[in-house]
Amino acid sequence: MYSKQILLGLLCIISCNLSAQTQDAESIKQIFNETLVNGKAYSWLEYLTTNIGHRLSGSVGAASAVDWSKTELANIGDSVWLQPVTVPRWIRGESEEAYIKGRGKKDMIKLNVCALGGSVGTGPDGIGGNIVEVQNFEELKALGANRIKGKIVFFNRPMDPTAIHTFSAYGGAVEQRVSGASEAARLGAIGVVVRSMGLDQEDYPHTGSLVYAAGAPQIPAIAIATKHATLLSQRLKANVDLQFFFETHCEIMPDVQSYNVIAELKGSEYREELIVVGGHLDSWDLGQGAHDDGSGCVQSMEVLRIFKMLGIVPKHTIRVVLFMNEENGLRGGIEYARIAGATGEKHIVAIESDNGGFTPRGFNMNASTEFRNKVLGWRPLLEPYGLTDFTREGGGADISPLAGTGIPLIGYMPDSQRYFNYHHTAEDTFDKISKRELELGAGSMAALVFLIDKYGTK
């Protein structure tokens, strides 16, 4: 039999826990209400995408985005500053051209392509010749230099359509875009064509970075729209002597200085302990960078605004970082982590939004079992807002350089089914954004920050 004192103690604990849960649920409801009724993420994103536009590192657009976001954050943060970052400068130049030519003079078909980011150009005369289709690097190497030298290599492995989590499909195909040019160049190829990283049959291409390997010749590389990749493959099967031509005008320029944009709300108890939330301010040059990653930037900015407007005084310092150069170098994330290490800053968690502005689904985590279990304990508070998936590994590219500190790295994960319709394309524009979905994402991030700030990571 329990004594009366023990029973009273247990009842007190249960009552206190229920009271805390009720208070937390009410606070989280207020967070979502604030962003859904008074949120600024959508209007911020409209300005960023339609007034400033694309923001490739080192461009005029990127510089304008830095100035604009610093001004906006100064209205809601206790302090705002710019962190210098040296970034690459790559220019696409005039529009690309590509076509296939068969046996007859009239058998010529124009194809939709774009240069891959960081590629060298072809020169004004372009390049042409026979084309060889492969699915992977193993198949390429099996063909050998005798069958590759002097030809154009066509990497045509699609993203896996059976992968329900589309980022898994992307991860299973993207290395041909990143490393295909160098792998083909080692065998004497003169150029590379890569099937775009998209799941649908589309008539617009997807750009993205390539990385030239040290010691390998640098050859021009382009992405081809998925619909035209299918067409090219069909024509090649019908005519192995098919001729392919493409012309690009891109240039690799000297590095330039840009900035990470940083703002804070100071903590009341643990001012030196940082909760970081952020996205990347740069974007590719084909669209407006609405989903990738304007949405992540304005959602992160909205976290600070929500706290400020609701009068939530955080225990820890809440820091927003808008990183520069995620798309073609990750130098903003690397420099941020370097300075944090050099100055001895103490981060307790980092959260990144870089998966689009779609409906909330949950959070990916690279974290200890202890922290995962802590977050799972908050599921009853988060599930009413569609946040149910907390099991996947992940974090974010810009916060990944902080991995060595051992802190939890968290990636906000919205629904992924439409993301690769827009990723790195001219279709990534403001009109593809749902105001409500964007605001629900901002509320989701603010709610998680609120819980971490209140209960810590241990």
Regarding whether 292 and 258 lie in a shared domain, the answer is yes
The verdict on residue 3 lying in a domain is no
For the segment 343-383, what is each residue's pLDDT rounded down to a tens digit?
999 999 999 999 999 999 999 999 999 999 999 999 999 99
Regarding whether 121 and 73 lie in a shared domain, the answer is no
Regarding whether 364 and 306 lie in a shared domain, the answer is yes
For the segment 295-352, what is each residue's pLDDT rounded down to a tens digit?
999 999 999 999 999 999 999 999 999 999 999 999 999 999 999 999 999 999 999 9
CATH number of 259's domain: 3.40.630.10
What per-residue confidence (pLDDT) applies to 15?
Answer: 47
Regarding whether 161 and 103 lie in a shared domain, the answer is yes
The verdict on residue 15 lying in a domain is no
Q: Give DSSP secondary structure letters for 275-301.
A: EEEEEE----SSS--IIIIIHHHHHHH
The verdict on residue 188 lying in a domain is yes
If one counts the domains in the chain, the total is 2
Tokens 């536009």, residue? 53
Through-space distance between the first and last CA atoms of the chain, rounded to whole angstroms: 34
* Among 222, 249, 276, residue at a domain's last position: 249
For the chain, list residues with pLDDT below 50: 1, 10-15
C-alpha separations of 322 from 198, 272, 296, 350 in Å:
26, 20, 9, 13
Q: Give the ranges where 289-406 is alpha helix by DSSP (H).
A: 295-310, 331-343, 369-376, 379-382
Distance CA(235)–CA(240), nearest Å, equals 8
Regarding whether 403 and 309 lie in a shared domain, the answer is yes
Regarding whether 328 and 417 lie in a shared domain, the answer is yes
What backbone torsions phi and psi does residue 273 show, to the nearest 5 degrees? -100, 125
Q: Which domain range does residue 135 map to?
A: 93-249
* Among 192, 217, 249, residue at a domain's last position: 249
Regarding whether 361 and 310 lie in a shared domain, the answer is yes
pTM of the model: 0.94
What per-residue confidence (pLDDT) applies to 322?
Answer: 99
What per-residue confidence (pLDDT) applies to 391?
Answer: 86
Tokens 């249960």, residue? 14
What per-residue confidence (pLDDT) applies to 104?
Answer: 57
Distance CA(442)–CA(215), nearest Å, equals 44
What per-residue confidence (pLDDT) applies to 106?
Answer: 62
